[in-house]
Amino acid sequence: MDKFQKVISTGVPLPNEDIDTDQIIPARFLKATSREGFGDNLFRDWRYHQDNSPKADFVLNNETYKGEILVAGRNFGCGSSREHAAWSLHDYGFRVVVSSFFADIFKGNALNNGLLPVQVTDDFLSGLTSAIVADPKTEITVDLVNQKISYLGLSETFEVNAYKKECLIHGYDDIDFLINLKSEIEAYETSSIVV
């Protein structure tokens, strides 16, 4: 996994609420057996017409907005557990998703792929979204080490699990950690009362 410490970038606003993983990557694009290439179909049905021509009014097709930070609406990533949602965002070039609320499984999947979910207050989110729309060149700083997001002199701190933070900063993942617990896991198995 890539190391993650700080991202300074402009942002892409997508203020819809309840963006589910079927919108992020529709099921018919989950047929690949590798992790690569899902970015091409990120937000497929919002981004392209059925004849594959781009939908001009969708933000990813708007040259004005670019950057590594997606600024989305509340309850981002609800629905299916498909990790392809995190892969497609990362593959497209996003390193951070900002929202005021994240669905559980999506949040875990993002953290396991070097994509940082930054949960802010509703007020901060609407301020940030308005600032980007007013000036698409607005620079946003996401500092994982200090757990702080800032733009135009405004800032807010965000929560991140201490263990996952260490993993992101150093580029470790859970497999590295778990396979070193083999003897403890075997000891658990011997003592388990579960049928």
Q: Which of residues 90-129 bind another protein (CB under 8 A)?
A: 101, 103-105, 108-109, 112-113
Cα separation, 20 vs 130, whole angstroms: 23
Instruction: Report the C-alpha gap between 116 and 164 in whole angstroms.
Output: 10
Residue range at the interface with another protein (CB under 8 A); choices 3-11, 70-78, 129-137, 139-147? 70-78
For the record, the structure tokens of 194 come out as: 């579960």
Count residues binding another protein (CB under 8 A).
56
Q: Tell me, what DSSP letter sits at residue 80?
A: -
Please provide the DSSP assignment of 153-184 as one string. TEEEE----HHHHHHHHHT--HHHHHHTTHHH
Least distance (Å) from another protein to the CB of residue 109? 4
Where does this chain bind another protein (CB under 8 A)?
15-18, 20, 22-23, 26-28, 30-35, 45, 50, 73-75, 78-84, 86, 101, 103-105, 108-109, 112-113, 161-163, 173-175, 177-179, 181-182, 184-185, 188-189, 192-195
